[in-house]
Structure 1
Amino acid sequence: MADSSKGRAAAAAGRGLVAEQVVARFNQLRQEQRILASKVAELELDLNEHSLVIETLREADPTRKCFRMVGGILVQHTVKEVLPALESNREQITKVTESLSRQLQAKGRELSEFREQHNIRLVGEDDPKHSSKEGAEGGAKGGSAGVLVS
């Protein structure tokens, strides 16, 4: 009998480890999604700044002096030298932002699929499979085991 109880304990520990791995993977996916979202937001701010500076410089005299920060060093140029470089940077930032947005959407789909696959519910989120009439008893009786993430 002692051997069978050890086997059950090991099986329970194995299930717990799997659940811990699922939670860890879910949290990792959420963190990756947050990082992508913050990077997209940061690049959109840079894009807005570039657009504002470009619009301002278009109205300025092309031979006028302007200063540009390059690698932490302030460099003197003329407007006609800086404007094409800023427009090129804006185009590159736009491309990178679009690419990161696609990655963010893909990560969101991956996260949703992972949640559905492992029946992950967040704290405070209702279980859509159970109606409100069943209450706590209906959820405890039937149903599949899921992971609850805070």
Structure 2
Amino acid sequence: MASNSKKPDSKEKTLTPEEIMNGFQSLRAEQRTLTSKLSEFELDLNEHKMVIETLKNVNDDRKCFRLVGGVLTERKVKDVLPVLITNQEKLAEFIEKLNEQISKKGQEINDFREKHNIRFRGMDAPKDTDAEIAPSAVESRGKVLVS
């Protein structure tokens, strides 16, 4: 039974400051990657919306061109429009899931910061003193902020 009590201690490995920073930076890099993907997919969604709005006003039998895997294909509007609408819906769902992943990653980063007591210079400075100075400066100068 004594060996069972030692197992949790072996799992609780003390990390060096470098390992903590590397872990934090990798979490932030993952969040940045997710955010850039989100931005890319939002651009695709906007392009889909523009093309769909344009094709709605066009005759169904009119030919149009679609880029598929780097190959330009000729189709009719009636064939392309339903596919574009389906893709738009799937993109919207994917963007929603990606937003959730980014939120979870942000929470994971915040939890990691709190767990390892990570502070940023200038950002985590005591804000109480700033809050006390600002209202009195505003009141004494007639609501004009002077630095």
TM-score, L = length of structure 2: 0.74
For 2:136, the equivalent position in structure 1 comes to none
Q: Matched residue pairs, number?
A: 117
Q: Which amino acid aligns with 2:97?
A: S
* 1:36-115 to 2 correspondences below 5 Å: 36-115=34-113
**Which consecutive unaligned segments of at least 5 residues does structure 1 have?**
1-14, 133-150
Percentage identity across aligned positions? 49
The alpha carbon displacement at 1:127 in A equals 3.8
Cα offsets for 1:112-145 (capped at 9, x unmatched): 11111111112332344x965xxxxxxxxxxxxx
Q: Segments of 4+ in structure 1 off by > 6 A?
A: none
For 1:23, the equivalent position in structure 2 comes to 21
Q: In the alignment, is residue 120 of structure 1 matched against residue 118 of structure 2?
A: yes
Q: Which amino acid aligns with 2:18?
A: E
Q: Does the 8 Å contact 1:66/1:76 carry over to 2?
A: yes
Considering only aligned residues, what root-mean-square deviation do their CA atoms show, in Å? Answer: 1.9
Q: Does the 8 Å contact 1:29/1:111 carry over to 2?
A: yes
Cα offsets for 1:28-53 (capped at 9, x unmatched): 00000000111111101100000010
Q: Which amino acid aligns with 2:87?
A: N
